[in-house]
């Protein structure tokens, strides 16, 4: 078992370079990045395309700029784009997560997957984008895909701004400067804190030092996407977040940065099972149930080093 992130990343990059030299020799951008992954040129994409070219358009339907072969977005679209293109979301039925709960659903009927799902009910200036959202008549599953990432995303308000050069928040949930609200995002009429205190044990009417939302920003926004709707408002039990990760990545195991965030957000959650986790390796077992996805299983093993 790999315990150092640097060793893990090195092994991943080696696999990606071996794949790139064999399958993308004339598509690389030619830039030298010491120790970095292969990057494709502007006319190529890192998404896995099946032998059946008629499925290509469906799989590339909503692909972001994914030129690096280390892109978790390209990996996500390769897997879930293929599942959707071949109409095989049935293979996701009954998969259990690490906590023993259902990862996706017991019955796939009525669920529709949408890649790069945009949240339009939190009044955000830049809408939350969910890697894959499975929407059914009564339930939602917000899927967050990770690969070599070290941690989940933090709130951008604590970073230096482009105009003033100063962050808009010091990392605490408290009145700062001349604003009227404890959160600079609330000051901008973004509605996160309308619901956060109902999902987590964070009292929006008290100072919180440091701000727990800053530390769990990406995970908590996914939770809001899964449980808040424009018509119904908040329903804590209408959905859950599913994180898919590489079980070789040390940051998702004991003591790792992502693991600490994961533990914290679960400890803070008022809703049992709101956050669930599944490895790519476990998901590959389900993919083997669909013969038409054999190409995908083979490439996931050769390109990414995943083994069911």
User: Per residue in 175-203, pLDDT tens?
Assistant: 999 999 999 999 999 999 999 999 999 99
Q: What's the confidence (pLDDT) of residue 63?
A: 66
* pLDDT higher than threshold 90 for residue 274: yes
Mark whether 17 and 111 lie in a shared domain: yes
Structure tokens of 245?
Answer: 């990760």
- Residues 83-107 have a mean pLDDT of 97
Type and span of the H or E element at 78: helix 72-85
Q: Which of 274, 277, 267, 154 is nearest to 224 (CA)?
A: 274
Do 171 and 202 reside in the same domain of the chain?
Answer: yes
286 and 137 part of one domain:
yes
Which of 95-127 are b and which e, b meaning 16 or more Cβ less than 10 Å from the residue's Cβ? Answer: bebeeeebbbbeebeebebebbbebebbebeee
- Give the pLDDT of residue 261: 98
pLDDT average, residue stretch 279-289: 97
Mean pLDDT along residues 37-43: 85
Domain that includes residue 206, residue range? 153-215
Q: Are residues 19 and 114 in the same domain?
A: yes
pLDDT on residue 162: 54
Looking at the fold, whether 211 and 224 belong to one and the same domain comes out as no
In terms of Cβ atoms closer than 10 Å to its own Cβ (0-12, 13-18, 19+), residue 4 is exposed
pLDDT top residue among 138 and 32? 138
How far is the C-alpha of 174 from the C-alpha of 85, rounded, in Å? 47
Question: Which one is predicted more confidently, 272 or 163?
Answer: 272
Pick from 173, 193, 215: which residue ends a domain?
215
201: exposed, middle or buried (Cβ count in 10 Å: 0-12, 13-18, 19+) = exposed
Q: Is 11 in the same domain as 46?
A: yes
Give the pLDDT of residue 301: 96
**DSSP letter assigned to residue 155:** P
Q: Are residues 39 and 108 in the same domain?
A: yes
Tell which of 169, 185, 215 closes a domain. Answer: 215
**Do 86 and 182 fall within a single domain?**
no
Tell me: do 140 and 186 sit in the same domain. no
Averaged pLDDT of the chain: 93
Given a cut of 60, whether residue 139 has pLDDT beyond it is yes
The answer to whether residues 167 and 251 belong to one domain is no
Number of domains in the chain: 2
CA 19 – CA 155 distance, rounded (Å)? 35
Cα 241 to chain centroid, rounded? 9
* 262 shares its domain with 116: yes
* More confident call, 12 vs 44: 12
**How would residue 164 be classed by pLDDT, with cut points 50, 70 and 90?**
low
What is the reported pLDDT for 231?
79
- Give the pLDDT confidence score for residue 64 in this predicted structure: 64
Q: Which of 215, 234, 269 is the last residue of a domain?
A: 215
172 plus 283 within the same structural domain: no
Predicted confidence at residue 35, as pLDDT, reads 83
Kindly state the percentage of the chain with pLDDT values over 90. Answer: 79
């Amino acid at each position: 078992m790999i315990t150092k992130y640097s060793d893990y990343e090195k092994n991943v990059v080696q696999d990606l370079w071996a794949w790139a030299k064999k399958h993308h020799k004339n598509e690389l951008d030619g830039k030298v990045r010491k120790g970095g992954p292969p990057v494709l040129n502007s006319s190529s994409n890192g998404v896995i395309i099946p032998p059946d070219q008629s499925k290509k358009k469906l799989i590339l339907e909503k692909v972001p700029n994914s030129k690096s072969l280390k892109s978790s977005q390209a990996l996500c679209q390769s897997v879930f784009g293929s599942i959707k293109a071949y109409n095989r979301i049935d293979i996701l039925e009954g998969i259990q997560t690490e906590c023993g709960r259902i990862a996706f659903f017991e019955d796939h009927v009525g669920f529709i997957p949408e890649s790069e799902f945009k949240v339009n009910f939190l009044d955000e200036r830049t809408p939350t984008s969910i890697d894959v959202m499975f929407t059914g008549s009564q339930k939602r599953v917000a899927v967050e895909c990770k690969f070599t990432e070290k941690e989940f995303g933090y709130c951008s308000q604590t970073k230096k701004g482009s105009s003033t050069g100063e962050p808009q928040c010091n990392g605490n949930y408290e009145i700062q400067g001349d604003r009227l609200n404890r959160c600079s995002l609330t000051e901008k009429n973004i509605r996160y804190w309308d619901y956060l205190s109902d999902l987590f044990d964070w009292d929006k009417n008290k100072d919180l030092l440091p701000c727990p939302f800053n530390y769990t920003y990406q995970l908590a926004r996914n939770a809001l996407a899964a449980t808040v709707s424009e018509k119904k408002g908040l329903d804590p039990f209408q959905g859950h977040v599913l994180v898919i990760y590489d079980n070789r990545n040390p940051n998702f195991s004991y003591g790792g940065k992502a693991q600490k965030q994961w533990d914290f957000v679960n400890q803070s959650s008022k809703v049992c099972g709101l956050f669930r986790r599944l490895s790519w390796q476990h998901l590959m077992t389900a993919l083997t149930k669909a013969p038409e996805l054999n190409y995908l299983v083979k490439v996931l093993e050769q390109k990414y080093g995943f083994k069911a």
